[in-house]
Structure 1
Amino acid sequence: MRNAEVALETALLTHGLPWPENLATMEALLKAVEEEGARPRPIGVVGGRVRVGLEREELVRLAQGGADKASLWNLAALLAAGKDAGTTVAATLHLAHRAGLEVFATGGIGGVHPVPFDESADLLALSRTPILVVASGPKSVLDLEATLERLETYGVSVVGFRTDRMPAFLSPDSPYPLPARVETPEEAAALYREARALGLGGVLLFNPVSEGLSFQEVQAHVEEANREARRLGVGGKALTPFLLRRLAERTGGRSLEVNRRLLLENARLAARVARALAVE
């Protein structure tokens, strides 16, 4: 029996939540994975070195501010410059696969934005990296229908965990049907094994948050926040943080509570899938 291990991204730590909530949330994720019988492996860049399985002092260093955000297009440059960085979904996928990990837990994936030509590197990374990723859907600020279409185009194996419809990050449901469904971690592990045997890329296991916000409410807030962003000229890298911040304000902090809940639930499910894979 192999070790059950779960990769965790650290952009959540460096850019997702403020200090000290970011560190407290990461520590809760580590504990959740351990409680489910798996080993958590948070991945980041410290002093220009890739670290797979960050120690607590390294997590604190990243969480306290000043670190960059590492995606695939700037990862090599950050290493060469000796920087600290939290890894995005795309960078974590790549580094986790290089380290031999097969399961990765995150909150929401990046995808297609309403702004033309603005697409996350997460999508291409998912298509070419044979890892099972547990997420609660694409981030709520995205064009969800276009993101699901792009996942199909890229040949990503998309499956719902006890759901027939794509969860929308903060919302456990959406109007968009999924092509496959599993009921147990063991079934998810079996599907991943088939995808791996076929030489396919990633398996995206969508896990709906147990208690979230309604799809209609979130979309109304997102549309208003997008209108505000256009008025203020907010775009590029600043757009997603701006929209998520406005979502938190408009929901009275409820979106942050849901975000923390789904992160923990995804970490627990990922650990269970990792345990099922470890019996090979």
Structure 2
Amino acid sequence: MNPYLEIHPEVQQALADGKPVVALESTIIAHGMPYPQNVQTALEVEAVVRGAGAIPATIAILNGKCCVGLSQQQIEHLGQAKNVWKVSLVDMPYVISQQLDGATTVAATMRIAALAGIRVFVTGGIGGVHRGAETTMDISADLTEMGQTSVAVVSAGVKSILDIGLTLEYLETKGIPVVTFGQDAFPSFYSRQSGFASPLRLDSPKEITRLLRAKWELGLNGAVLVANPIPEKFEVPAPQMEWYITQALHAASQQHIKGKAVTPFLLKYIAEHSHGESLEANIALIKHNARLGAELAVAYTRV
């Protein structure tokens, strides 16, 4: 057992028994939504996973330990504390060695999930190539981590604040299969459309499971991105969302927001200026992803 891992007994027992487990990230709790919606959403997402037949394992770093599976009290702490780090791979050694608290991004959550032996991970949307990356070189560590860590990543596509076309190109370069569930168009987080076709389409968890098995049993390490379009009744149309994004990017530039602070700033700006419409969509899509992730975990353990 890795000395830095602290696995919740329920999760540990499920893994030992070969039962389906779904990893969940914690950035959405500490940095993605305001309190109390963040805590309420986290608990509801866990309930969705349970309702679909799997065990939820929300992942975070607490007091320098990589915690796999959180109590309600720990989730409440993450939702209200003011000094929680946003932890990607580059931050993990410092946060752990200094025994700090950290909410894990996609990249960090994937790595910890893989260390614990969890194969399916659910998030809202992945990071990627930022707009203007040809001059800033701002490319999320989510993509490089997906190139080497063998976990299925269920998301609502790529965050729409990013350069989706370049992100898809980068994923292809890294050998990461991109599969959209149930439609030909690749989704863009808040919207079902992105203007890009999905590289692959599959229509059932069983089919996705067969792809995962084939990839990993061939020795092809790395993730598979499973894009799950937001339900139609909750989506914000892409042209409307693009207007909000343009305004948010301009505000970030004016305020000299850089690095890891960019994404939380943009999401908060969009939520405030869309009168909560984007927040409602964000909550809906993470629950929708949790259901598919749980169904995928169940199918994977049955094969």
Shorter-normalised TM-score: what interval?
over 0.9
Structure 1 residue 111 corresponds to structure 2 residue 111: no
Contact 1:2/1:279 (8 A) holds in 2:
no
Tell me the equivalent position of 1:152.
Answer: 172
User: 1:22-72 CA distances to partner (integer Å, 9 max, x unpaired)?
Assistant: 110100011000000100011111111111111222222222212111110
4+ runs deviating over 6 angstroms: none
What letter corresponds to residue 28 of structure 1 in structure 2?
A: E
What letter corresponds to residue 118 of structure 1 in structure 2?
A: D
What letter corresponds to residue 193 of structure 2 in structure 1?
A: D
Tell me the equivalent position of 2:259.
Answer: 236
User: 1:123-182 CA distances to partner (integer Å, 9 max, x unpaired)?
Assistant: 001111111110001111111111111111111111010011210000111111112111
Contact 1:43/1:50 (8 A) holds in 2:
yes
Secondary structure of 1:73 counterpart = helix
Tell me the equivalent position of 2:223.
Answer: 202
Structure 1 residue 62 corresponds to structure 2 residue 78: yes
Q: Which one of the candidate residues 21, 39, 50 is aligned to 1:23?
A: 39
CA distance in 2, matches of 1:8, 1:245: 21
* Cα shift at 1:276: 0.3
Q: Which range moves more in the overlay, 54-63 or 175-184?
A: 54-63
User: 1:178-233 CA distances to partner (integer Å, 9 max, x unpaired)?
Assistant: 12111111111111111111222101000000030111111122122212322332
Contact 2:244/2:273 (8 A) holds in 1:
yes
1:124-273 to 2 correspondence within 5 Å?
A: 124-200=144-220, 201-210=222-231, 211-273=234-296
CA distance in 2, matches of 1:249, 1:219: 15
Q: Normalization by structure 2: what TM-score? A: 0.90
* Cα shift at 1:101: 0.4
CA distance in 2, matches of 1:42, 1:242: 23
* Cα shift at 1:235: 2.4
Q: Which range moves more in the overlay, 75-84 or 61-70?
A: 61-70
Structure 1 residue 12 corresponds to structure 2 residue 28: yes
What letter corresponds to residue 121 of structure 2 in structure 1?
A: F
Unaligned runs of 5+ residues in structure 1 are none
What letter corresponds to residue 62 of structure 1 in structure 2?
A: L
CA distance in 1, matches of 2:193, 2:218: 30
CA distance in 2, matches of 1:232, 1:43: 32
Contact 2:161/2:245 (8 A) holds in 1:
yes
CA distance in 1, matches of 2:80, 2:274: 26
* Cα shift at 1:246: 2.0
Aligned length: 280
CA distance in 1, matches of 2:78, 2:118: 22
Tell me the equivalent position of 2:50.
Answer: 34
CA distance in 1, matches of 2:153, 2:243: 28
User: 1:221-279 CA distances to partner (integer Å, 9 max, x unpaired)?
Assistant: 21222123223322222222222122112321100000000000000000000000111
Secondary structure of 1:128 counterpart = coil
Contact 1:136/1:209 (8 A) holds in 2:
yes
What letter corresponds to residue 84 of structure 1 in structure 2?
A: D
CA distance in 2, matches of 1:208, 1:89: 18
Contact 2:119/2:151 (8 A) holds in 1:
yes
Q: Which range moves more in the overlay, 215-224 or 72-81?
A: 215-224
What letter corresponds to residue 39 of structure 1 in structure 2?
A: I
Secondary structure of 1:112 counterpart = coil
Q: Normalization by structure 1: what TM-score? A: 0.97
What letter corresponds to residue 150 of structure 2 in structure 1?
A: P
Unaligned runs of 5+ residues in structure 2 are 1-16
CA distance in 2, matches of 1:60, 1:221: 30
What letter corresponds to residue 206 of structure 1 in structure 2?
A: A
What letter corresponds to residue 266 of structure 2 in structure 1?
A: L
Secondary structure of 1:108 counterpart = coil
Secondary structure of 1:168 counterpart = coil
